[in-house]
Structure formats: structure tokens, C-alpha cells
């Protein structure tokens, strides 16, 4: 009895000295966690104290649930570190906000055939936010998404300029590729297709796109120009815009080799400043503006779907799907491996969610008004900074949301090809590194790989490069008496691309 009296007295006083006692431990089980018990045991407890304790308990519970869902503690990370890692990822890939409008927009090479530049900028930011949020919240990986550099070039120069397809219909093709990708992602077909294409050709496709993107950068910067006698020759280095592009290339390369995260972004900033000082780049009229322009692009992919079911569009959709599918495969597995997130067998946990997130980003981006959205290899910058969970991706998405209001600054950059050209060249170099992984000693792989790489820049078409590579591969394998090793999927693709060359390529 004395013990009970002491405990009740202690509870009334809130503890002894600096030691607080939780009286719920002494209540009957059915009374624990029920604040009515305190009114019986302790008539001196103030409602504010009870409310404060309830708030603390709720916050602790919410924090625990977030930690458990994302596995923050399990991966040895913290929320602060994840947010900082997301910031690093944004800095490394935010150049897309300037370069994508320059490639797809109506201020550049496409002219009147291009998508309105402000709409492209807003769509790029929104697509990055949506795709990255889905990746962070659903797949829970520290991987950011945005419109891809190689596929935006394919969209603009191969589909719109080369094939003469309106950008609205090209967006419909992008939407279809995203929907098909989603179906493949959530089924076992994904693994079968990944296994069907030989690794050497996958590597060649990535390198070929890199060559194509670099060639676009050299051309847009005036570092190479057309020639009737030699196809191309060196540009005019007495022109200010050419010199500005050369400066931008040199400074970006320097930033890259010394290991700066965000080297491409810093190169764009440095080149823009020099361009403004020299009078080659105009000053922005303002810094901040409300996002707009989507009224010109939103929903066009859906409205124009009936026009996307043609022979030409079959090739377009297949190419978009092929490139995005295998680019996502390499990027997701590579980044997860760097972050130590693969299983001991080398498998990617939650692979279906990760691939589906990529496809959702593509479909959403197409509906909003931009080319294929894909996982960015620049996410490795955030992983290097300690990012291990989806919180990193959510942080990156937040920065893209903020950047959406900075169109006047990015518009100046997008309209100056001398500023964005160095970024394209450097990105092309980074994409071409896979050339070193190709086994050039085996001709049955080396020949199709080389054909794939060389045809992309020289025919100004990513689709042509992929098609030629997939045509040569089975033929060479048969000649080598290894035809049985060619997967049926490759034979089907070879027949489709053969029909493309005979009936559609020059139309």
C-alpha cells in the first residue's frame, strides 16, 4: 500500500528530481496507452502536457514508419544525408533543363517544326518531378529520371526532321513506347528480352548514341560544318560563337577530369557568363516566372494516337522502346551496384517497380509534352554523396519543382547553341565509354557492333544504327555456324527492320 501511495505521489509530481517516470507501466494492461488513466492516477496532469506527449508519440511513430519503409537506418544512412545526396544529383543533371529545350524546342535547329520552347522546359521539369517521385516513393531507389539525351536527339532529328513526322504524333509514339515498356516491366517478358539481345550489341547501342549526340554538339557549336567535297570539315574559328563553344568544351572537360560533380552544369554556367560578358549571349529579362506553356502540349500525345499506327511509327516506337529499355537496364543495375543494393546473386530487388517507374515517367512525360523520360546515370553523383534510398530521389524531385519557376534563365541558355553544344559533346563522350567493354577480338560481335555505332552519326539516325546492327548480327552468326545461338526475338526484329529499309526508310 505504501508503495502505491509513493508511486501515485511521484506520478503527481511528474518524477523524482530529473528522472521522469511513465506511470503507464503501473496501470493495468487494458489501461495502458489510454490517457484517461492519467486522470484517475494523476489529477494534477495538465491537458497541454498530455497533448504534447501525444504529439511526440505520433512524431516518433511517423518517423519510425518512414525509416522502416525506405530502410534509411538499414542502409546506414540518415534523412539529412539523403536530402543532401538528392541535391548533388540535381546539380549533376540539371543541365537537362537547358539542353532538352534546345534540342526539342522551336528556337533551335527544328525551327517551326519544334515544340514551343517554354512548353518543353516546363514539360521537362514536370516529367522529371513525376518520374523521380515515382521512383523514390514506389521503387525506393536513389535514382532520378528526366528526358534522356540520346532519345531527345532521336525524337528531334530522326523522327521530326528525318521522317517528317509532326511532333504531336511523335509524342504519341513516345506514349505507346512507355505503355509497352510498362507491360514488359511488370511481367517476366522483361527478363527474356534482356537475355535475347547480346551484351555486345547493347554496349554498341549506347556508344553509338553517344557518338550521335557528340556529333550534334560539334555541329551545333560550329566546330564542324558541312562540306560538299568532304562531307564535313573544321568550322570557322574566327567566329565568336565557335570560339565560345570551344571555350565551353575546354572548361567543361577540365571540370570533368578534376572530378567535380555537376561538371556539365558548371560548364554551362561558365560559358553563359563568358557569352554574356562578350555580348554573344543576351541577359535574361527576368529571373523568375510562373510555369506555363503546357496548354500547347498537354494531351497532344493522346489526341494524336490514331495517327501513330503507321509503318513508320512502328519503327519509331520500337526504337524508342529498345533504347529506353536497355538504357534503363544498364543504368538501374549499374547505380544499384555502386550503392551496394544488389542481392548476392547480382539481382536487382524490386526490379519490376524500378522498371515500371521508368515507363511511368516516359508515359507521363509524353502526355505532358516531352520525349522519352529515363533513369539518369548522373544519379551516381548522389550515390557517391551517400544516397541509398528513395528519399534521395524525392529530394531531387523537389529541386526540379523549384527550378520550374526559373524559365527566363534557362531560356537564355537554351537559345544559345554555343552554350549547350559543349554539354552535348561531353555527354556523348561519357555515353561512348562502353566501346571499351566490347570484345573486338570476336568478329561475330565486333562487326555488328561497329556497324551499329558508325551508322548512327553518319546516317543521322539512331534507328538506322540499331536496325543495321540487328540485321548484321544474325547473318554473321549464321556464317560463323553459330545460328542456333541467335534468340528468336532477334530474328523477328531483323525481319521487321529489313522491311523498314525496303519500304519505309527513304519515305
Gap between the Cα atoms of 124 and 394, Å rounded? 16
**Which of left, alpha, beta for 105 (phi over 0: left; psi -120 to 50: alpha)?**
beta
Within a domain: 119: yes
**pLDDT given for residue 428 in this prediction:** 86
Within a domain: 251: no
Domain boundary among 25, 48, 70: 70
Confidence of residue 420 (pLDDT cuts 50, 70, 90): confident
Rounded to an integer, what is the distance from CA 487 to the centroid of its chain? 30
Same domain, 176 and 219: yes
Same domain, 489 and 452: yes
Task: Show Cβ contacts of residue 64 under 8 Å, excluding neighbours closer than 6 positions.
Answer: none
- Angle at alpha carbon of residue 89, lines to 84 and 94, rounded to 5°: 125
Of the listed ranges 68-72, 74-78, 273-277, 326-330, the one predicted with least confidence: 326-330
Span 330-347, average pLDDT? 83
Within a domain: 337: yes
Gap between the Cα atoms of 202 and 452, Å rounded? 10
Same domain, 339 and 412: yes
Within a domain: 22: yes
Q: Which sign, positive or negative, has the C-alpha torsion 426, 428, 431, 433? A: negative
Same domain, 53 and 169: no
Domains identified in the chain, total number: 2
Same domain, 98 and 51: no
**pLDDT given for residue 6 in this prediction:** 42
Same domain, 210 and 168: yes
Within a domain: 55: yes
Within a domain: 322: yes
Same domain, 216 and 337: yes
**pLDDT given for residue 437 in this prediction:** 87
Same domain, 331 and 424: yes
Domain boundary among 51, 70, 89: 70
Span 41-52, average pLDDT? 54
**pLDDT given for residue 51 in this prediction:** 57
Same domain, 299 and 334: yes
Span 222-248, average pLDDT? 91
Same domain, 7 and 35: yes
Gap between the Cα atoms of 212 and 424, Å rounded? 10
Range of the domain at 481: 79-225+283-503
Task: Show Cβ contacts of residue 143 under 8 Å, excluding neighbours closer than 6 positions.
Answer: 132, 135, 331, 332, 335, 354, 375, 376, 379, 393
Q: How many helices (H) and strands (E) does the chain have?
A: 22, 4
Query: Considering the chain, what percentage of its residues have pLDDT values greater than 70?
Result: 86
The answer to whether residue 477 scores a pLDDT higher than 70 is yes
**pLDDT given for residue 3 in this prediction:** 47
Within a domain: 297: yes
**pLDDT given for residue 5 in this prediction:** 43
**pLDDT given for residue 473 in this prediction:** 94
Same domain, 66 and 84: no
Quote the pTM value.
0.76
Q: Residue by residue, what is the 3-state secondary structure of 168-227?
A: HHHHHHHHHHHHHHHHHHCCCHHHHHHHHCCHHHHHHHHHHHHHHHHHHHHHHCCCEEEE
The answer to whether residue 411 scores a pLDDT higher than 70 is yes
pLDDT tens by residue, 139-168: 999 999 999 988 998 999 889 998 899 999
Same domain, 42 and 100: no
The answer to whether residue 16 scores a pLDDT higher than 50 is no
Within a domain: 277: no
Query: Are 389 and 404 a contacting pair, CB within 8 Å?
Result: no
Domain boundary among 50, 70, 90: 70
The answer to whether residue 63 scores a pLDDT higher than 80 is no
Amino acid at each position: 500500500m505504501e508503495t502505491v501511495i509513493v508511486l501515485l505521489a511521484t506520478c503527481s509530481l511528474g518524477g523524482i528530481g530529473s528522472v521522469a517516470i511513465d506511470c503507464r507501466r503501473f496501470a493495468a494492461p487494458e489501461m495502458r496507452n489510454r490517457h484517461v488513466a492519467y486522470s484517475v492516477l494523476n489529477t494534477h496532469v495538465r491537458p497541454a502536457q498530455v497533448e504534447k506527449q501525444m504529439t511526440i508519440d505520433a512524431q516518433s511513430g511517423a518517423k519510425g514508419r518512414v525509416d522502416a519503409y525506405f530502410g534509411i537506418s538499414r542502409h546506414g544512412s540518415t534523412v539529412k544525408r539523403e536530402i543532401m545526396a538528392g541535391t548533388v544529383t540535381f546539380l549533376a543533371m540539371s543541365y537537362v533543363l537547358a539542353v532538352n529545350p534546345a534540342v526539342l524546342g522551336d528556337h533551335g535547329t527544328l525551327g517551326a517544326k519544334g515544340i514551343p520552347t517554354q512548353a518543353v522546359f516546363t514539360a521537362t521539369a514536370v516529367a522529371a518531378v513525376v518520374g523521380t517521385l515515382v521512383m523514390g516513393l514506389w521503387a525506393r531507389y536513389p535514382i532520378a529520371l528526366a528526358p534522356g539525351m540520346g532519345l531527345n536527339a532521336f525524337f528531334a532529328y530522326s523522327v521530326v526532321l528525318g521522317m517528317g513526322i509532326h511532333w504531336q504524333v511523335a509524342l504519341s509514339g513516345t506514349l505507346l513506347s512507355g505503355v509497352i515498356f510498362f507491360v514488359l516491366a511488370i511481367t517476366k517478358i522483361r527478363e527474356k528480352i534482356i537475355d535475347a539481345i547480346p551484351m555486345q550489341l547493347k554496349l554498341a547501342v549506347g556508344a553509338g548514341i553517344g557518338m550521335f549526340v557528340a556529333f550534334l554538339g560539334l555541329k551545333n557549336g560550329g566546330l564542324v560544318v558541312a562540306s560538299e567535297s568532304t562531307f564535313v570539315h573544321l568550322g570557322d574559328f574566327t567566329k565568336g560563337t565557335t570560339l565560345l563553344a570551344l571555350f565551353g568544351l575546354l572548361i567543361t572537360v577540365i571540370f570533368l577530369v578534376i572530378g567535380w560533380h555537376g561538371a556539365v552544369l558548371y560548364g554551362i554556367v561558365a560559358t553563359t557568363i563568358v557569352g554574356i560578358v562578350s555580348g554573344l549571349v543576351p541577359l535574361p529579362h527576368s529571373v523568375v516566372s510562373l510555369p506555363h506553356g503546357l496548354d500547347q502540349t498537354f494531351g497532344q500525345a493522346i489526341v494524336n494516337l490514331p495517327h501513330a499506327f503507321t509503318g513508320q511509327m512502328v519503327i519509331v516506337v520500337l526504337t524508342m522502346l529498345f533504347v529506353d529499355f536497355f538504357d534503363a537496364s544498364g543504368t538501374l543495375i549499374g547505380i544499384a551496384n555502386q550503392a551496394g543494393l544488389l542481392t548476392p546473386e547480382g539481382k536487382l530487388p524490386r526490379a519490376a517497380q524500378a522498371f515500371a517507374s521508368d515507363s511511368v515517367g516516359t508515359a507521363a512525360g509524353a502526355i505532358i509534352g516531352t520525349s522519352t523520360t529515363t533513369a539518369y546515370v548522373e544519379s551516381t553523383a548522389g550515390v557517391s554523396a551517400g544516397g541509398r534510398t528513395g528519399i534521395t530521389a524525392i529530394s531531387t524531385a523537389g529541386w526540379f519543382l523549384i527550378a520550374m519557376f526559373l524559365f527566363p534563365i534557362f531560356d537564355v541558355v537554351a537559345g544559345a547553341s554555343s552554350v549547350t553544344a559543349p554539354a552535348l559533346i561531353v555527354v556523348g563522350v561519357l555515353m561512348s565509354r562502353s566501346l571499351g567493354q566490347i570484345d573486338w577480338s570476336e568478329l561475330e560481335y565486333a562487326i555488328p557492333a561497329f556497324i551499329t555505332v558508325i551508322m548512327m552519326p553518319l546516317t543521322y539516325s539512331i534507328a538506322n544504327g540499331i536496325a543495321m546492327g540487328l540485321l548484321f548480327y544474325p547473318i554473321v552468326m549464321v556464317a560463323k555456324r553459330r545460328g542456333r545461338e541467335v534468340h528468336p526475338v532477334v530474328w523477328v526484329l531483323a525481319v521487321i527492320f529489313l522491311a523498314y529499309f525496303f519500304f519505309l526508310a527513304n519515305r
